[in-house]
């Protein structure tokens, strides 16, 4: 059981790594042609690929291939005493360390919220809410405050805090996968860009004011690991957000095309990950028809006048159907079983 768990963990991480590399290569072109909202939605490829790798595989017959051979070798290696146990202990130690760091960061942010030093941010997994700093009214004008609130409400409408919590859980479970940590950072940037685009769709004439508000925002000392913060930490995320403000929104035709591309990519990611896992091989069935003796019925009072005993036989073929031989067709059989049966 432990060996199968480790192999499943390895399969889902390989599928996630391939999906992450594909998204990292496509996110910038998709953002340019289809808009930030569609580019953010393409990240759903990663969990779908993981789900496909964990779905029960197909049942096939015939000899196994290279994938099955590799899988069997890994199972044999993990079956050696100590190998699987050592890997499980190492995985648990890393997962607990990352989980402890996540809890510490969350408690640090909660303390900053109580002190009025955190935000603007959208937090809350079960009940999303807005968090504003103590000097929010003094720092921003009325128009700026309206834009900031619209941005955070866009996060709340999209349930982004829950997605960030799921991403944090994934980094705890798959802490050893560096591509996953890189993907979480890129996904959160695309999340901010998608909310920026949603706000500018509501306020198309506020692009300059929106950009100025971003530029003079004082970044909080701590950021919510399970929530969404208004200001992006670091120069590169801020530069990407400012640059994206100058792009014209995509047309409705491009949005419809983007939805078609997304649906196709989601289906392909799930199907490819499912098809890549080793199938379950069915046992070989014997070739040619066989006659199997099932039961020899003893003569009864009703059969006393007959000279031969009646055998009940079943003719087994390669197909699942079984052809029963009737008693009437066996009246000519001898009373004793033939030699060799």
> Which pLDDT score, from 0 to 100, does residue 97 have?
97
Rounded Cα distance, 86 and 102, in Å:
25
pLDDT, tens digit, 9 for 90 and up, residues 106-133: 999 999 999 988 889 999 998 889 999 9
| pLDDT at residue 81 tops 80 | no
* pLDDT tens column, 284-337: 655 555 555 555 455 555 555 554 444 443 333 434 444 444 444 444 545 555
What pLDDT is recorded for position 322?
A: 41
User: Are residues 223 and 233 in contact, defined by beta-carbon separation less than 8 angstroms?
Assistant: yes
Express as a percent the part of the chain with pLDDT over 90.
51
Question: Looking at residue 328, what is its pLDDT?
Answer: 45
Query: What is the structure's pLDDT at 232?
Result: 65
Angle subtended at Cα 202 by Cα 184 and Cα 134, rounded to the nearest 5 degrees = 65
> For 145-167, what is the mean pLDDT?
95
pTM of the model: 0.76
Burial label, 34 (beta-carbon count in 10 A; 0-12, 13-18, 19+): buried
How many angstroms from the chain centroid is the CA of residue 155? Answer: 22
Instruction: Give percent helix, percent strand, percent coil of the chain, each to the nearest 5.
Output: 60, 10, 30
Q: What is the pLDDT of residue 333?
A: 47
Mean pLDDT value across the chain: 81
Q: In the structure, what pLDDT confidence band is assigned to residue 236 with cuts at 50, 70 and 90? A: confident
203/199 Cα distance (integer angstroms): 6
Residue 242 has pLDDT above 70, yes or no: yes
Of 213, 215, 162, the residue nearest 191 (C-alpha): 162
Alpha-helical (H) ranges within 159-307 are 160-173, 178-202, 207-215, 235-245, 252-276
pLDDT the model gives residue 215: 84
Residue 81 CA, chain-centre distance (Å), reads 31
Residue 71 has pLDDT above 50, yes or no: yes
Say if residues 278 and 75 touch (Cβ distance below 8 Å).
no
Overall average pLDDT of the 229-233 stretch: 71
Q: Which of 32-46, 75-89, 144-158 has the lowest average pLDDT?
A: 75-89
| Helices 235-245 and 207-215: angle between axes, nearest 10 degrees | 170
Predicted confidence at residue 227, as pLDDT, reads: 85
Helix H or strand E encompassing 4 = helix 2-34
User: pLDDT tens digits for 249-281?
Assistant: 889 999 999 999 999 999 999 999 998 887 766
Residue-level pLDDT at 225: 86
């Amino acid at each position: 059981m432990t060996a199968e768990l480790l192999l499943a963990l390895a399969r889902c991480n390989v599928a996630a790594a391939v999906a992450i590399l594909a998204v990292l290569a496509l996110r910038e072109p998709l953002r340019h042609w289809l808009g930030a909202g569609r580019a953010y939605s393409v990240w759903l490829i990663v969990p779908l690929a993981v789900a496909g790798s964990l779905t029960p595989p197909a049942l096939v017959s015939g000899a196994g291939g290279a994938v099955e051979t590799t899988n069997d070798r890994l199972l044999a290696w993990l079956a050696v005493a100590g190998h699987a146990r050592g890997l499980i202990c190492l995985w648990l130690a890393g997962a607990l360390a990352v989980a402890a760091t996540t809890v510490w960061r969350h408690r640090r942010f909660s303390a900053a919220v109580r002190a009025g030093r955190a935000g603007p941010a959208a937090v809350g997994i079960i009940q999303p809410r807005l968090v504003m700093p103590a000097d929010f009214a003094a720092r921003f004008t009325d128009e700026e405050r309206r834009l900031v609130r619209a941005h955070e409400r866009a996060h709340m409408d999209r349930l982004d805090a829950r997605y960030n919590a799921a991403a944090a859980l994934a980094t705890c479970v798959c802490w050893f996968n560096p591509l996953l940590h890189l993907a979480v950072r890129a996904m959160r940037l695309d999340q901010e860009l998608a909310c920026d685009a949603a706000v500018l769709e509501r306020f198309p004439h506020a692009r300059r004011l929106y950009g100025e508000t971003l530029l003079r925002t004082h970044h909080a000392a701590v950021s919510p690991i399970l929530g969404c913060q208004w200001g992006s930490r670091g120069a590169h995320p801020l530069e990407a957000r400012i640059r994206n403000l100058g792009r014209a929104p995509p047309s409705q035709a491009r949005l419809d095309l983007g939805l078609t591309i997304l649906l196709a990519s989601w289906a392909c990611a799930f199907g490819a990950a499912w098809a890549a896992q080793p199938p379950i091989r069915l046992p070989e069935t014997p070739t040619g028809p066989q006659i199997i003796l099932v039961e020899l019925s003893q003569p009864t009072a009703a059969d006393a006048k007959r000279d031969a005993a009646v055998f009940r036989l079943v003719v087994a073929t390669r197909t699942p159907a079984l052809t029963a031989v009737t008693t009437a067709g066996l009246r000519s059989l001898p009373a004793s079983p033939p030699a060799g049966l």
